[in-house]
Amino acid sequence: MKGSTFVRWGRTSCDGTKSSLVYTGFMTGPTHTARGSGSNYLCLSSNPQTKSFPADWNTAPGHLYGIGWELTGIDRSKSSNHVDDKDVPCAVCLTKGKTSLMIPGRTSCYAGWTHEYTGFLVSVRTESGFASTEYVCADADPESQGSTNYNQGIISFVEVRCGSIPCSKYRNKTKLSCVVCSK
C-alpha cells in the first residue's frame, strides 16, 4: 500500500477509515533533566526485537526514556485528566494519501487535505532548563499507558508568547491546538 506514516501521539489506534495501524508503542525520548543523546521523540514498539552487539562496541551510550504526561495547571474536572502523571502511548499510522503534515495553531485542515486527528501541541517544559525536544501534536482525547510515570521524560502543553508572534492573531499565554492532515 502506498502512502506515508505519521505518529498519533497519546493514542493506541488510528482512524480506520483514513489510516491503518502499523504498530503501537510507547512515547520515548530524552530525559528532561539531562543534556546529550537525541532530542526527538520516538514511538518505541510494544513488541521489541533485539540484536546482540559485539563486545568491542561498548561505548558511552545515549539514553532513551519513557515519556509521561505532565499536565499541571489544568482543570481536574475535565475527562482528559486521567492521563496526568502516566506514560504516553503512541500509534504509527499509514495514511492512504501521499504525505502527512502537522499544522500547529489550527484545528482543521486546509482545503484539499484530509483530517487525521486534532490535538494540542506538546514538548518538554521550558522551565526544565535542560533538554530541548521537538514539538509534537498529542491527541485531544489522550489515553495513558501503564499506571506510573517515573518522570524520566515529560511533556507539557505549549503556549504562545507574543512578540515576534503577532498578538493580533495569537493571544499571549494561550495553549496551542494542532491538527494532523494527509493528502
Domain boundaries, the chain: 4-182
Output the pLDDT for position 167: 85
pLDDT, tens only, 104-121: 999 999 999 999 999 999
User: What residues have CB less than 8 Å from 153, skipping those under 6 apart?
Assistant: 28, 29, 30, 31, 32, 65, 66, 67, 68, 124
Query: Could you tell me which of 2, 160, 13, 183 has the C-alpha nearest to residue 93?
Result: 13
Please say if the pLDDT value at position 172 is more than 80. Answer: yes
Q: For the residues 20-31, what does the mean pLDDT come to? A: 90
We find that the CATH architecture of domain 4-182 is Beta Complex (2.170)
Angle 5-182-40 from CA coordinates, rounded to 5°:
45
Q: Count CB-CB contacts under 10 A for residue 5.
A: 12
Average pLDDT over the chain reads 83
- What is the structure's pLDDT at 121? 92
128 pLDDT band, cuts 50/70/90, is: low
- Report d(CA 98, CA 142) in Å as an integer: 26
Between 165 and 119, whose confidence is greater?
A: 119
pLDDT at 149 over 80: no
Confidence of residue 170 (pLDDT cuts 50, 70, 90): confident
Rounded Cα–Cα distance for residues 138 and 94 (Å): 17
Could you give the CA distance from residue 103 to residue 52 in angstroms, rounded to a whole number? 40
Q: What is d(CA 179, CA 105) in angstroms, rounded to the nearest whole number?
A: 8
pLDDT of residue 145: 80
DSSP structure class, residue 162: B
pTM of the prediction? Answer: 0.80
* Residue 157 in grid coordinates: 502543553
* Predicted pLDDT of residue 147: 64
In tens, the pLDDT along 62-89 reads: 778 888 877 665 555 555 557 666 788 9
Distance between CA atoms of 41 and 178, rounded to whole angstroms? 17
Phi, psi torsion values for 84, nearest 5 degrees:
-55, 135
